Amino acid sequence: MNLKKEKQLDLDPRIQEDSEKLLEFVHMFCRGNHKDLSKTPFIFDYPKVPLKLEEGRELCDECAKLLKHAIVMRYLCPLDPKPSCRNCPEHCYKSEYRDAMDVVMKYVGPRLLFKR
Ligand SMILES: [Zn+2]
């Protein structure tokens, strides 16, 4: 594990891939658990993070916030290769988001296995 000296401007394809997965996971979780909350189509709009994500997935406010945080943190992750967040010494997520993402992963994990 080496700390990158500088952030590259080009987007690492692994970040793009991970972000797409995050979108997928949070969307799945929100659809299954927040049926009664009002939702808006998700748009990722951080000019500093040059990601292209599918727009229009319906998410509630809470999940949209979590997803944005998760994607930005993934983008800013200084570790290369990135360890699994669970095993990472950095704990870059704010604790409220970390707990929320834990809940998402616990919900989504077994469902992904069934999908295959
Ligand atoms: Zn939600």
Phi, psi of 59 (to 5 degrees): -135, 150
Whole-number pLDDT of residue 9: 55
Q: What is the pTM of this model?
A: 0.82
For every residue of 29-89, DSSP letters joined together read HHHHH-TTS-EEE-----TTS--------EEEHHHHHHHHHHHHHHHH--EESPPPGGG-S
- The confidence band for 92, taking pLDDT boundaries of 50, 70 and 90, is confident
Mean pLDDT of the chain: 85
pLDDT band at 1 (very low <50, low <70, confident <90, very high): low
* pLDDT at residue 5 is higher than 70: no
Tell me which residues have their CB within 5 A of the ion that is ligand 1: 30, 34, 60, 63
**If you measure from the C-alpha of residue 23 to the centroid of ligand 1, how many angstroms do you get, rounded to a whole number?**
12
DSSP state of 93: S
* Helix, coil or strand: residue 2: strand
- In this prediction, residue 8 carries a pLDDT of 46
Q: How far, in Å, is the centroid of ligand 1 from the Cα of 41?
A: 12
More confident residue, 8 or 111: 111
Share of the chain above pLDDT 70, in %: 88
Provide the β-strand partners of residue 40.
59
- Dihedral angle, C-alpha 86, 41, 32, 113, nearest 10 °: -50
* pLDDT tens-place string over residues 55-72: 899 999 999 999 999 999
Tell which residue, 27, 41, 110, has the closest CA to residue 70: 27
